[in-house]
């Protein structure tokens, strides 16, 4: 187990606030990673995606790095711009 995983596991055992915030933060981070990976798999730069969405490169960077408040319509347009389709899945919360 990596040091980071061990730290997270230990911290979640005694700090409920950390646990809650970690889960939300990780989900946001993961969305951004998935978007970036889709863009890279399509062989596109942030600038090229920005052109397709008629926005600025900084907006694409913000979406990929801070995906905590991205509209569903933006995610759909982003997916189309990189030649992907958007799929949403609901999963049961861990208790």
How far are the Cα atoms of 5, 34, 37 from residue 40, in angstroms, in the given order?
Answer: 27, 10, 5
Per residue in 30-88, pLDDT (tens digit) is: 788 889 999 999 999 999 999 999 999 999 999 998 777 789 999 999 999 999 999 98
pLDDT of residue 70: 85
- Model pTM above 0.75: no
pLDDT of residue 69: 79
Q: DSSP secondary-structure letter at 68?
A: G
Confidence grade of residue 92 (pLDDT, cut at 50, 70, 90): confident
What structural domains and CATH numbers belong to the chain? 3-81 (1.10.260.40)
């Amino acid at each position: 187990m990596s040091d980071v995983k061990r730290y997270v596991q230990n911290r979640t055992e005694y700090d409920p606030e950390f646990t809650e915030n970690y889960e939300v933060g990780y989900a946001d981070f993961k969305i951004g990673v998935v978007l970036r990976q889709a863009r890279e798999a399509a062989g596109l730069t942030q600038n090229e995606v920005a052109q397709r969405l008629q926005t600025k490169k900084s907006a694409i960077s913000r979406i990929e790095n801070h995906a905590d408040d991205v509209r569903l319509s933006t995610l759909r347009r982003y997916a189309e711009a990189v030649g992907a389709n958007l799929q949403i899945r609901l999963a049961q919360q861990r208790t």
